[in-house]
């Protein structure tokens, strides 16, 4: 059970680190369109 919890945390952190840069990039391009 402990092993699956650790795997879940790892999985979520990987998704987060992959997702965050693309969100920042999208926000930059979005602001460019508004300006």
- Look at residue 15 in the predicted model and tell me its pLDDT: 92
- Cα–Cα dist 25/11, whole Å: 22
- Give the domain ranges of the chain: 1-34
Q: What share of the chain is helix, strand, coil (3-state, %, to 5)?
A: 95, 0, 5
How much is the pTM? 0.50
Q: Give the pLDDT confidence of 1-35 residue by residue, as tens digits.
A: 689 999 999 999 999 999 999 999 999 999 998 86
Structure tokens at 13: 């952190």
């Amino acid at each position: 059970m402990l092993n699956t919890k650790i795997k879940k945390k790892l999985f979520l952190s990987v998704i987060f680190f992959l997702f965050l840069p693309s969100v920042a990039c999208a926000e930059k391009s979005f602001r460019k369109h508004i300006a």
